[in-house]
A = this chain, B = another copy of it.
Amino acid sequence: MKTKLNELTATEIVNLTHSGSVTAEAVVRACLERISEREEAVQAWQFIDPELALKQARAIDARSFRGPLHGVPVGMKDIIDTADMPTEYGSPIHAGHRPHMDAVCVALTRRAGGIIMGKTVTTEFANRFPGKTMNPRDPRRTPGGSSSGSGAAVGDSMVPLAIGTQTTGSTIRPAAFNGCFGYRPTWGDLRITGVMEAAGSLDTLGIITRSLDDVVLYRDVLAGTSPQPLPAAACKPPRVGVCWTQFQAQADAATRASIEDCAAAMSKAGAKVSTLELPPAFDAVAEVHQKISSFEFARARAWELDHYPEKISAVLRNGRLKHGLAYTFDEYREARAAAEKLRLQLDDVFAGYDAVLTPSAAGEPPLGLDATGSAAFSSIWTLCHTPSMTLPLFSGPNGLPIGIQLVTRRDCDRQLFEIARWTAALYGR
């Protein structure tokens, strides 16, 4: 085989383990080897126990049933409960905590034959205060956050799949910064039982991969349904709205060039591409998002606030927690009502488009490890509960990855996958 096992996609691994040409154990060994070579420089893992991973792999190899993820190693963001590994939520308050049962997404991954490789680094409580992870392509740069370790581990070929979560841009951004595919599902589709709440009315799981097929496959596993590959035939050229959003000024030259290049390629391939200006109501997104997420986050942390206030970072105390505790219930309620109105308005906007093309982030992963980059380009779509994907189709002046983001209407995740495949194919992906 030319490619090393750790560089295969989940779909490729499953083909090999189902045909019997490769064992789960061999796949896990290859990934462990990669991790042992690279972990010192990347620091993607909050917890990893090679023996535990190999033990799972041998148990999978011993099964007669071949599940849809048979032998696929998966990284789990460390805000997701695992019965056989610690789960620390990126906080010293929870150091060494070991849940008594698996989160739903972990149980469904194991049921499908996946192997929980370890726990990936998260920022503190999936908020801003960064963990130890560096960008695998340049250790001076952030891997993005809050799903920092999940992005870095997949981008550096340590595992083919990882789960992140997203409350603002915590999956799309680290996926983009690590040259990965990243997917945020329609809000509510995938159970989040056993996943730490950041802000429940916005939180979703996120999937980070090196292949679009893997997103499609893993999403069905996490929905607890039988995987359905996309139809063989490509979709019709879509009607695409290029949306710069009110955060346009944040996008650097390389990001602007990438979106323009993609829009031109789409148009050349028959797509109906036009500029989409969101109605002025969407200017309120940042404020509405901030009120909802901070109000809920501050209450979700009630126990930590009352028992270990001194172990909470200043960034969090003076940021989301401070804001969240200051808002009144009426302000929160009004923000939630405003969000619901924006969701219905966005449904109307989508009547004229099959998908939106928009930046995944402001540019290449920025220098510095004290922050994880701006989540602004995800805030509208996250608030509006739409599905979105980042596709690793471009790079910037430093040769570092730049993603482009596609968004569809709520509940149109399969349509998103088809349009993403059509778009990636324009770039030979």
Show the binding face of A for B, using Cβ within 8 Å: 83, 94, 97, 100-102, 104, 106-108, 110-111, 188-189, 191-194, 196-197, 200-201, 220, 223-225, 296, 298-300, 302-304, 306, 328-329, 333, 336-337, 411
Q: A188-B201, A191-B200, A193-B200 are in contact. Are A299 and B224 (CB under 8 A)?
A: yes
Q: Are B191 and A299 in contact (CB under 8 A)?
A: yes
Distance (whole angstroms) from the CB of A68 to the closest CB of chain B: 14
Q: Are B299 and A108 in contact (CB under 8 A)?
A: yes
Q: A191-B296, A192-B200, A200-B192 are in contact. Are A302 and B225 (CB under 8 A)?
A: no
How far is B103's CA from A236's CA once the two chains are assembled, in angstroms?
49
Closest to A298 in B: B224
Chain B residue contacts of A196, Cβ below 8 A: 193
How far is B337's CA from A303's CA once the two chains are assembled, in angstroms?
35
Closest to A328 in B: B225
Distance (whole angstroms) from the CB of A345 to the closest CB of chain B: 14
Q: Are B224 and A302 in contact (CB under 8 A)?
A: yes
How far is B58's CA from A227's CA once the two chains are assembled, in angstroms?
56
Q: Are A223 and B188 in contact (CB under 8 A)?
A: no
Contact of A111 among B100, B102, B302, B304 (CB under 8 A): B302
Chain B residue contacts of A300, Cβ below 8 A: 104, 191, 193
Q: A104-B300, A329-B223 are in contact. Are A306 and B193 (CB under 8 A)?
A: no
Q: A104-B299, A104-B300, A300-B104 are in contact. Are A188 and B111 (CB under 8 A)?
A: no
Contact of A107 among B224, B302, B411 (CB under 8 A): B302
Across chains A and B, which 6 residue pairs bring their CB atoms closest together, nearest first? A107-B302, A107-B303, A224-B299, A193-B197, A225-B329, A102-B303
Chain B residue contacts of A201, Cβ below 8 A: 188
Beyond A106-B303, A191-B300, 7 additional pairs, beta carbon < 8 A: A97-B100, A101-B303, A107-B302, A193-B197, A193-B200, A225-B328, A225-B329
Q: A191-B200, A197-B191, A328-B225 are in contact. Are A333 and B411 (CB under 8 A)?
A: yes
Chain B residue contacts of A94, Cβ below 8 A: 100
Closest to A193 in B: B197
Chain B residue contacts of A303, Cβ below 8 A: 83, 101-102, 104, 106-107, 194
How far is B189's CA from A201's CA once the two chains are assembled, in angstroms?
10
Closest to A297 in B: B191
Show 13 residue pairs from A and B whose CB-CB distance is below 8 angstroms, ordered by the A residue.
A94-B100, A101-B303, A104-B299, A104-B300, A104-B302, A107-B302, A107-B303, A107-B306, A191-B296, A191-B300, A191-B302, A193-B196, A223-B329
How far is B201's CA from A224's CA once the two chains are assembled, in angstroms?
16
Name which of A100, A194, A336 has the most chain B CB atoms within 10 A of its CB.
Answer: A100
How far is B201's CA from A188's CA once the two chains are assembled, in angstroms?
7
Distance (whole angstroms) from the CB of A163 to the closest CB of chain B: 14
Closest to A103 in B: B303
Q: Are A110 and B306 in contact (CB under 8 A)?
A: yes
